[in-house]
Amino acid sequence: MEEMVLAALGGFIFVIIGIGVAAYVLASLGLMKLAENRRIENPWLAWIPFGNLFILGKLVGDEIVVFDKQIDKLGLVLLIGSLVLSAISAIPLIGQLLAIAFLVLIYMIYYKLFMEIKPQSATLYLVLSIVVPGALAIILFILSKEDTNYEQY
């Protein structure tokens, strides 16, 4: 009996890891294709943790307005911010509050990207990205095929 439970648990963990890898591949492919479409330098950074945030910032024009404050060089801000957050996230309360604020910023950026590519579905995509695990990866992959306004970049 114990062996069956361990085998089932091992199978479950294998499936979860497989889904995680598939989501990472889809998200990376989507970000890379969007970066290529928009002629962003080094689109391969989409495959590298932290580098993918740099590409995300570049995809939305390297700037965003948050609470009436414009953030310039967004790709660099996201890259450095994620590295700093990794270092201080273990600090009780402060680390968690900063992590939540950073996550909100990232979702604001994804919303801006969704609005640029498919404005009529941007809110739905944002909600799905937040609520459904893996949905963001699928959405990015689909949008990379639908991003037809890239000639302007």
Q: How far is CA 103 from CA 22, 38, 61, 106, 153, in A?
A: 22, 24, 19, 5, 27
* Three-class secondary structure of residue 109 per DSSP: helix
Q: How confident is the model at residue 57 (pLDDT cuts 50, 70, 90)?
A: very high
- pLDDT, tens digit (0-9, with 9 covering 90-100), for 87-129: 898 888 998 999 999 999 999 999 999 999 999 999 999 999 9
Tally of residues, the chain: 153
8 Å CB contact between 97 and 116: no
Q: What is the pTM (predicted TM-score) of this model?
A: 0.87
pLDDT at 116: 92
Tokens of 13: 């963990």
Mean pLDDT score across all residues of the chain: 91
| ∠ Cα 13 19 23 (to 5°) | 145
Q: Which two tokens stand for residue 122?
A: 């941007």
Alpha helix ranges (H) inside 38-63 = 51-59
pLDDT at 149: 59
**Cα–Cα distance measured from residue 142 to residue 134, given in angstroms and rounded to the nearest whole number:** 13
